Amino acid sequence: MDVSDLIDVAAIMPALKANSKKQLLQLLSERAAALSGIPEREVFDTILQRERLGSTGVGNGIAIPHGKLAGVKRITGVFARLESPVDFEALDDQPVDLVFLLLAPEGAGADHLKALSRIARVLRDADTVAKIRGTRDAAAIHTLLSQTPASHAA
């Protein structure tokens, strides 16, 4: 499973403005709803419910909010590069400026975990993250997210 299977260029917001974690999640939910046909409120409530279990801010300015929804047909994502970082109650207490929202069908099970792992692996790559932070071009961000980090570790 490649990240390119999880996200389309239309799902990338390369210069998002948000003032808070809640507003950020609302904006991501809005885009996910527009792309998936799932009601925005349903997406937002699912993501918020997951955040209450513990922040999905994984550190280094990165968050991977996620959730499972009945109406989702396939695992899909929305990515945002923020103009200014927001407090996300991340594990390292650093504000977040890169966010990959992942939605999965209710019965996704292991595939949901594989997708999360794949995204985390890509966003752990310092070179990739630096390049993403340096561009406001959605197609360029999509290409960077779609690359296998190991390919430039040689």
Instruction: Compute the distance between CA of residue 106 and CA of residue 70 in angstroms, rounded to an integer.
Output: 5
Instruction: Compute the distance between CA of residue 140 and CA of residue 154 in angstroms, rounded to an integer.
Output: 22
Task: Write out the catalytic residue numbers.
Answer: 66
Name the phi and psi angles at 12, rounded to 5. Answer: -105, 125
Interaxial angle between packed helices 138-146 and 126-133, expressed in degrees from 0 to 180 and rounded to the nearest 10: 170
| Cβ–Cβ under 8 Å, residues 65 and 54 | no
Exposed e or buried b for every residue in 66-84, given b needs 16+ CB within 10 A?
A: bbbbeebeebbbbbbbbee
